[in-house]
Structure 1
């Protein structure tokens, strides 16, 4: 089943440091925050897909790649914006061993690269709650954090993610693809999410999503070998 899901997804897909003071009240410390979290203007391809040979499957599969050089010098606000977007869509997520009782040991490629901990774990969510502490809508949305492994019969995954930083604004554009094996259907869409940095916290200010492009497919059952 794992191979079948990977094969279908391949065909469907088109293609730092914690240094913050807790109580900051004086003007001098406000300036310190603004300097610490100041972002430089940039446009970066953060995530993309390429075909890669899988030794275990002994076949070529479409695999997620992440811009490692960018991640070495990523700002905390940019990390938070990317971490928020990836809270609801998979990035080749798989359980670290067997799922635990809390189902909070799901390892996802984006979280691992950004050092955010397991998907939807307390480590992951506490980091985001800190950054979106004054954005009630975003905090509420985080309660729907998605912990779905890549082997699930119904799932979504990223095709690409680009990030644009300009002044105090972060714009993340991405394309996601989904598949529902039971219903034999697939879909894809594009989205543009805009975040604004205000001192030491982020606000999710707007989102623009394209219409879903959906299609269906047929899973052919394997014929039993004759004795």
Structure 2
């Protein structure tokens, strides 16, 4: 429960002294008016190299501000230096819908346009739901209608101080031929309800010259637990 204790402390600290008018800045917001960027027609054909590489994991690290050790996300920066655009696209897609310790970059903005997430930052895709982020993904998923529609109505802006959220525990990138898979382990928590959960999932993609298609998602059964909130 160390990870959940850390989240609880962060949520508590973030909520102290905040006026009611700004209480929604820690909540989940699904954007239904995300601006679209023009399709980039200069995409190159990419040859993939077979690999199985861990992209993200968790480690216990000391927090200078809180003066304690907590479990935090770590990203394979060396792997990021070698990723092709299709590999960045599939990791960016998976990272869009689950938190990676996202936080407001500077002061919170009412349009929620400055949410900085560890995965998108490592992939050089800018802020969550930005034109840079979604524009890049739209370029690579340009022939996958279902994925494109998902970008239009479901791009959450959830900071890591939210009382209810999902987060990654581990991500592995698997490439074989023109097939790219992303295996991940994720967990979630709802502090007010005293509930936590976890699951694993593998998302399968296919590279076809200058675009990617999502083939299928293999998701495990979600395991749920209840804990005492102390109230």
Question: Shared topology, TM-score over 0.5?
Answer: yes
TM-score normalized by the length of structure 1: 0.83
Counterparts of 2:132 and 2:81 in 1: how far apart (Å)? 20
- 2:99 aligns with one of 75, 80, 90: 90
- 1:162 aligns with one of 172, 192, 202: 172
Counterparts of 2:42 and 2:51 in 1: how far apart (Å)? 30
Which residue pairs with 1:63 in the alignment? 72
Say whether the 8 Å CA contact 1:7–1:61 is kept in structure 2. no
Residue 98 (structure 1) shift: 2.2
In our comparison, the structure showing a higher alpha carbon Rg is: 1
Residue 7 (structure 1) shift: 5.2
From the superposition, tell whether residues 23 and 40 of structure 1 become closer, same or farther in structure 2 (CA, over 3 Å). Answer: closer
From the superposition, tell whether residues 23 and 48 of structure 1 become closer, same or farther in structure 2 (CA, over 3 Å). Answer: closer
Counterparts of 2:156 and 2:112 in 1: how far apart (Å)? 11
Secondary structure at the aligned position of 2:96 is classed as coil
1:199 matches 2:209 = yes
How do 1:1-227 and structure 2 match up within 5 A?
6=6, 22=41, 33-34=44-45, 37-143=46-152, 144-221=154-231
Residue 220 (structure 1) shift: 1.5
Counterparts of 2:106 and 2:141 in 1: how far apart (Å)? 31
Counterparts of 1:125 and 1:90 in 2: how far apart (Å)? 16
Deviation by residue 1:26-71 (Cα, 9 ceiling, x = unmatched): xxxxxxx33xx11101110000001001111100000111111110
Counterparts of 1:104 and 1:193 in 2: how far apart (Å)? 27
- Greater RCO (CA < 8 Å, at least 6 residues apart): 2
Secondary structure at the aligned position of 1:134 is classed as coil
Q: Kindly tell me the number of residue pairs found equivalent between the two proteins.
A: 199
Say whether the 8 Å CA contact 1:87–1:142 is kept in structure 2. no
Which residue pairs with 1:30 in the alignment? none
| Unpaired stretches in structure 2, ≥5 consecutive residues | 10-39
| Unpaired stretches in structure 1, ≥5 consecutive residues | 10-20, 25-32, 222-227
Q: CA RMSD in A?
A: 1.9
Say whether the 8 Å CA contact 1:5–1:153 is kept in structure 2. no
